[in-house]
Amino acid sequence: MFQDFVVTARPEQGPARLTALRAQMAAEGLDGFLVPRADAHQGEYVAPRDDRLAWLTGFTGSAGFCVVLKDVAGVFVDGRYRTQVKEQVANCFTPVDWPEVLPGPWIVENLDTGHVGFDPWLYTVGQLEALHKATEDHMITFVPVNNPIDAIWDDQPGAPMAAVKSHPTQVAGESHGDKRSRLAADLNAHGETAAVITLPDSIAWLLNIRGADIPRNPLAHGFAVLNSDSSVDLFMAEQKLTDVRNHLGEAVRVHAPDAFIPYLTQLSGTVRLDKSSAPIAVQAAVMQSDADISYSQDPCVMPKARKNASEIAGMAEAHLRDGAAVVNFLSWFDAQEKTALSEIDVVTKLEEYRRATNALLEISFDTIAGAGPNGAIMHYRVTEETNRPLQNGDLMVLDSGGQYADGTTDITRTLPIGNVSEDAKIAFTRVLQGMIAVSRMRFPKGVAGSHIEAIGRLPLWMAGQDFDHGLGHGVGAYLCVHEGPQRLSRVSDTPLEVGMILSNEPGYYRPGAFGIRIENLIVVEEAPALPGGDDHRKMLQFRNLTFAPIDRDMVVVDLLNEAELDWLNAYHATCRQVLSPRLAPEQQMWLDAACAALSHSAA
């Protein structure tokens, strides 16, 4: 149940696979090879066929890469995965802290001279430029090659071929014809004849289609070229499109995937490529044509990020449905002898309640149910081997979500098992204070995620604590649970705009002991003028989409100021108001108790 979509390598398999790769590299005259977690479409999520990083190293995180040289193989991971990578990879691989250490300088430090191979489908124009810049004063050459891992991976899965379905206009809020026309007008305004699109979620959004080529994400593998006359040339396996040919219409011309590169070599005029998502192979093909290249952002990225009224309404409804399912689970969980349960029991039961809505199409990611020290692994994924029985004193990080036809959900709650330490409760309350601070914010237009992120960390920072993941990520509308470019992150310079949906999820993690995370999804909207305000600057604010109680037993009330306590009580009152009509009487009673008001006098 828990490994059906996952390519795995046991640590003991790592040395043999690394040896086989180095032998293949030597046969091809390579001194190094780059192994990203990426596919030809350059989305965040990969199908099992493309999860070469996991096959080689055993590391299953959603971000990272490996640089294999003759004498060292570095596995680069960010702060989310530094505990996880040490548990998953053999000692023939060297974990490297990224982005503190960048691949270019690391290669220079470990390789005097030589040829480093890369798969031109798996690296973007921007990524290769950064590598060239870091190594330009050294005798190191980056060479595009056919992927040597494919030559040694004997049981590599086949390419996914799931059927594509249409996404109704009433849910999307705009027909794909209108989207194509709107984006084509932008191409014309910039003097561009076409834009090459490789991101699967961009294609899904543009054409109002959804697929199932990627686990947990309703995406179809393919490529597209949007033309300035608003037509689209779609390169996707014909067998996927049987049910949507009428939906696509005559303005969307379908071609076989292997016709994509020859088509690009015949382009003319000015063609838009996005350096952050266009593979080197795509750039090379366009450069063989008579076209000039205009490097600019994928035309779908920002319109997709700014959800329209129909998409926001669908997301709100999905969250109410999902919130009721979460409450049903929490009510059940509260009645159990928790030490008789395991992490897998929790994952299974929560999914049962979501499926009982009869609206769940898929969970939106593999549920994280990390108890005790497993909770300190930020993106922990339970397996039969790691499954931990719940123990008195544990905290459990429960991060989960659903894919519904009208929206995508993502919610995290931290649940106590029996009597937990006062130290853990204090840390929980600081995390809650950060989440409340972001929820209450008003901010001027033009502010980016990098400006806001510190607000959610401040209560932890004041206690000398922090966490190694971003404060929040963008979320798609029945699309990817991680969606850019909007983020609450210190590296995000994208201004937040009305309609963008993000997560608000501060946390705290103590390796070997426990983890804490509280997460709601929020949508950016216009802020009303304050009474007596001068209105000299338009302001934005966040509105919560997620409704489910936050564990009151974990809150150290004396640490909250009056505004924070008022927010928490008002949030819980809203949870009762919007979720009670969707619950049976027994669960309504449980919710009333779980959302009862807190006060300083009762502390």
580 and 433, same structural domain? yes
Structural domain includes residue 158: no
Phi-psi label, residue 499: left if phi above 0, alpha if psi -120 to 50, beta otherwise: left
Q: What's the distance, Cα to Cα, between the start and end of the chain in Å?
A: 43
pLDDT tens across 507-527, in order?
Answer: 999 999 999 999 999 999 999
Mean pLDDT, residues 468-484 taken together: 96
226 and 205, same structural domain? yes
99 and 174, same structural domain? no
312 and 290, same structural domain? no
Residue 127 structural domain: 11-152
19 and 84, same structural domain? yes
Structural domain includes residue 97: yes
Question: Cα separation of 526 and 442, whole Å?
Answer: 9
Residue 60 pLDDT: 87
Alpha helices in 440-498 (DSSP H): 449-461
The dihedrals phi and psi of 234, each to the nearest 5 degrees, come to -110, 125
Beta strands in 438-538 (DSSP E): 442-444, 472-474, 483-488, 501-504, 507-510, 514-517, 520-526
89 and 31, same structural domain? yes
Q: Virtual CA dihedral for 348, 507, 327, 438, nearest 10 degrees? A: -140
Which of residues 94, 124, 152 is at a domain's end? 152
Structural domain includes residue 351: yes
Which of residues 130, 152, 174 is at a domain's end? 152
pLDDT tens across 528-581, in order?
Answer: 988 876 667 889 999 999 999 999 999 999 999 999 999 999 999 999 999 999
pLDDT tens across 50-69, in order?
Answer: 999 999 999 988 889 999 99
Structural domain includes residue 1: no
- Asked whether residue 2 carries a pLDDT value surpassing 60, the answer given is no
pLDDT tens across 209-228, in order?
Answer: 999 999 999 999 999 999 99
357 and 273, same structural domain? no
The 3-state DSSP composition of the chain as helix, strand, coil percent (nearest 5) reads: 40, 20, 40
Q: Name which of 106, 101, 523 is nearest 318 in CA terms.
A: 523
Structural domain includes residue 157: no
Structural domain includes residue 494: yes
Say which residue the tokens 């993690």 belong to.
509
Tokens of 506: 């501060």
Structural domain includes residue 601: no
pLDDT tens across 368-394, in order?
Answer: 999 999 999 988 989 998 999 999 999
CATH number at residue 324: 3.90.230.10
275 and 383, same structural domain? no
Mean pLDDT, residues 240-269 taken together: 98
Say how many domains are in the chain: 3
Residue 137 pLDDT: 87
Beta strands in 8-47 (DSSP E): 32-36
Q: SS3 of 229, please?
A: coil
562-579 vs 422-439: helix crossing angle, rounded to 10: 80
| Cis check: omega of the bond before 485, within 30 degrees of 0 | yes
Say which residue the tokens 């106590």 belong to.
416
Are the C-beta atoms of residues 314 and 345 closer than 8 Å to each other? no
The confidence band for 244, taking pLDDT boundaries of 50, 70 and 90, is very high
Q: Name which of 456, 528, 538, 438 is nearest 497 in CA terms.
A: 538
Mean pLDDT, residues 399-427 taken together: 97
pLDDT tens across 142-165, in order?
Answer: 999 999 999 999 999 999 999 999
175 and 105, same structural domain? no
Structural domain includes residue 23: yes
User: Considering the chain, what percentage of its residues have pLDDT values greater than 70?
Assistant: 98
250 and 354, same structural domain? no
Which of residues 234, 268, 300 is at a domain's end? 300
319 and 234, same structural domain? no
Residue 533 pLDDT: 67
Cα distances (Å, whole numbers) of residue 359 to 271, 356, 557: 41, 8, 38
417 and 451, same structural domain? yes
Mean pLDDT, residues 479-491 taken together: 95
Residue 603 pLDDT: 42
- Asked whether residue 1 carries a pLDDT value surpassing 50, the answer given is no
Mean pLDDT, residues 406-425 taken together: 97
CATH number at residue 68: 3.40.350.10
Residue 535 pLDDT: 64
